[in-house]
C-alpha cells in the first residue's frame, strides 16, 4: 500500500524589497535568469510603482509566473500619523508582531527630509536618548527600511517627494549593517530612488569597525553623534565610547571621508546644561574637530519623561556656537522640528503602545 504523506508547509514568499540591484541580480543569476532583468524589475518597483507582476510587460511570461509563485513585494504600512504645527509629520509604521517604529517627515521650502529608523528600539544605552530607554527588540529588514521611504512618498502623494534621507530615527544603523547597506544602495540607485549621495546620510554613535566596513562598500554622507569632547564625558553620554574611544573614532572618520562625497563629517552635539556646554568644552571640541574636516550641528536637548538632563539655555548654546565658529568650524544650531508631537531628535519611542491602546479604548466607546 502506498503511504501518502501530505506535508503542508506554507512556503514563505521572498520579499523583493529585500534586494538592492546587485542582490537581485545575484538572485536572478541563481535561477538562471539574465541579470539585466533585475534592472527592469527594479524600475517597475521603484520608478513605475507597478507591483503587479502581471503588468510588468517587458518581463517574460515565464519569469513573471515564477515571481508570482515564489516572490512578493510588500512594504510596511503607516498606521498612525501626527502632524505638528510646523508641518512635520510623525508616522508610526507597523512592522508586524507588535513591532512598530517611527519615521519623521520634515518638509522645508526646497527640500523634504525623511528621518528613517533602522531597528526596533536600540541596543545602545545613550543616557540622553529616549529610544535607549525602550531597549532593543530587533533589526529591521532591508524591505522594512526602504519601505519607510516608499510609504512616505505614497502618503505625501502629489504634494511632494522625499529629497533627503537621514538614518537618524530609532536604532543604530551600523549595528544592522547587512540590512541597512542594501537599503541605502536603493536610495541612491539610479534605477530606484536616485537620490544624490550628498542627500543620504547615515548617522552613527561611532561603531568604529563598521565605519571602516562601510567605507569599503558605500560612500554616502556620514554624521557622527559626538556629544562630548573628552572620553571622560563621552563614556557616560554615549557608552559605546568605552569600547571605541575618541582617538579611534576620529581615525575612522578621517578614513571614511577619503571617499565620502561631501569630504567632511557632520558631527552632532546635543547641548546638555552643565554637562558638555562650558567654554572649556567648546575649546576642547575645537581642538578635537581640527583633526577631521568637519561641520558641527548643535542639537538643543529635547527632554522626555524621567530624564534628569536639561537643555542648555539659548544664550549658552549661542555662546558655545560662537566659540567653535570663530575657531573656523562651520557650526549650525539645529532647528527643533515637530516638538509638539514628540518627533524631535531622541524623542522617538514606544509611546506608541499607549496611544494605540487609547485608540482602542476610544473605539470601544464608539468615539474613534
Ligand atoms: N544611533 C544613531 C542614529 C540615531 S540619530 C546615532 O546615534 O547617530 C539620532 C540623533 O539624535 C543622534 O545624534 C542622537 O544622539 C540625537 N539625540 C538622541 N536623543 C536626543 C535628545 N533627547 N535630544 C536631542 N538629540 C538627541
State if residue 179 touches ligand 1 by the CB under 6 angstroms criterion.
Answer: no
Q: What is the pLDDT of residues 250-274, one digit of tens each?
A: 999 999 999 887 899 999 999 999 9
Ligand 1 pocket member 225 (CB < 6 A): yes
Contact 51, 73 (CB under 8 A): yes
How many whole angstroms separate alpha carbon 284 and alpha carbon 62? Answer: 64
What is the DSSP secondary-structure string of 166-232? EE-SSS-GGGGHHHHHHHHHHHH-TTTT---GGGEEEEES--HHHHHHHHHH---EEEEE---SSHH
- Identified catalytic residue from 115, 218, 253, 345: 345
Mean pLDDT for the stretch of residues 22-40: 94
Residue 102 known to be catalytic: yes
Please indicate whether residue 210, judged by its CB atom, sits closer than 6 Å to ligand 1.
no
Q: Distance, CA 279 to ligand 1 centroid (Å)?
A: 23
pLDDT one-digit tens code per residue, 100-154:
999 999 999 999 999 999 999 999 999 999 888 888 999 999 999 999 999 999 9
- Quick one: pLDDT at residue 368? 32
Of 103-107, 252-256, 308-312, 354-358, the least confident: 354-358
The answer, yes or no, to whether residue 366 has pLDDT greater than 50, is no
Q: Return the H-helix or E-strand segment holding 136.
A: strand 136-139
Say yes or no: CB of residue 188 within 6 Å of ligand 1. Answer: no
Q: Model confidence at 336, in pLDDT bands (50, 70, 90)?
A: confident
Q: Is 72 a catalytic residue?
A: no
The rounded Å distance from CA 338 to ligand 1 centre is: 15
pTM above 0.95, yes or no: no
Q: Pick the residue whose CA is nearest to atom 5 on ligand 1.
A: 168
Over residues 202-213, mean pLDDT: 98
Domains identified in the chain and CATH numbers: 14-72 (1.10.150.530), 77-365 (3.20.20.70)
Does any ligand 1 atom lie closer than 6 A to the CB of residue 193? Answer: no
Q: What secondary structure letter does DSSP report for 126?
A: -
Amino acid at each position: 500500500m502506498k503511504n501518502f504523506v501530505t506535508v503542508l508547509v506554507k512556503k514563505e514568499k521572498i520579499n523583493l524589497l529585500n534586494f538592492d540591484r546587485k542582490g537581485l541580480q545575484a538572485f536572478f543569476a541563481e535561477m538562471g535568469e539574465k541579470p539585466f532583468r533585475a534592472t527592469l524589475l527594479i524600475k517597475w518597483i521603484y520608478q513605475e510603482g507597478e507591483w503587479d507582476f502581471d503588468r510588468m510587460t517587458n518581463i517574460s511570461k515565464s519569469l513573471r509566473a515564477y515571481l508570482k509563485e515564489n516572490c512578493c513585494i510588500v512594504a510596511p504600512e503607516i498606521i498612525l500619523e501626527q502632524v505638528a504645527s510646523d508641518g512635520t509629520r510623525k508616522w508610526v509604521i507597523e512592522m508586524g508582531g507588535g513591532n512598530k517604529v517611527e519615521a519623521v517627515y520634515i518638509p522645508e521650502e526646497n527640500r523634504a527630509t525623511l528621518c528613517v529608523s533602522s531597528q526596533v528600539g536600540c541596543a545602545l544605552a545613550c543616557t540622553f536618548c529616549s529610544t535607549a530607554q525602550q531597549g532593543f527588540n530587533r533589526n529591521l529588514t532591508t524591505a522594512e527600511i526602504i519601505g519607510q521611504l516608499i510609504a512616505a512618498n505614497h502618503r505625501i502623494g502629489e504634494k511632494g517627494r522625499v529629497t533627503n534621507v537621514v538614518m537618524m530615527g530609532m536604532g543604530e544603523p551600523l549595528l544592522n549593517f547587512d540590512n541597512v547597506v542594501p537599503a541605502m544602495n536603493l536610495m541612491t540607485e539610479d534605477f530606484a530612488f536616485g537620490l544624490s549621495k550628498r542627500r543620504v546620510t547615515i548617522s552613527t554613535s561611532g561603531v568604529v569597525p563598521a565605519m571602516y566596513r562601510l567605507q569599503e562598500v558605500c560612500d554616502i554622507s556620514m554624521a557622527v553623534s559626538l556629544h562630548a569632547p573628552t572620553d571622560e564625558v563621552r563614556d557616560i553620554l554615549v557608552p559605546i565610547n568605552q569600547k571605541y574611544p575618541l582617538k579611534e573614532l576620529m581615525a575612522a572618520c578621517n578614513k571614511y571621508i577619503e571617499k565620502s562625497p561631501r569630504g567632511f563629517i557632520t558631527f552632532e552635539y546635543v547641548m546638555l546644561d552643565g554637562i558638555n556646554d562650558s567654554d572649556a568644552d567648546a575649546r576642547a571640541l575645537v581642538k578635537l574637530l581640527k583633526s577631521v574636516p568637519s561641520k558641527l550641528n548643535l542639537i538643543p536637548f529635547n527632554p522626555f519623561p524621567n530624564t534628569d538632563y536639561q537643555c542648555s539655555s539659548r544664550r549658552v548654546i549661542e555662546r558655545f556656537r560662537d566659540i567653535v565658529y570663530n575657531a573656523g568650524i562651520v557650526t549650525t544650531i539645529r532647528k527643533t522640528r515637530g516638538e509638539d508631537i514628540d518627533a524631535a531628535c531622541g524623542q522617538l519611542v514606544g509611546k506608541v503602545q499607549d496611544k494605540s491602546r487609547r485608540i482602542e479604548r476610544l473605539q470601544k466607546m464608539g468615539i474613534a
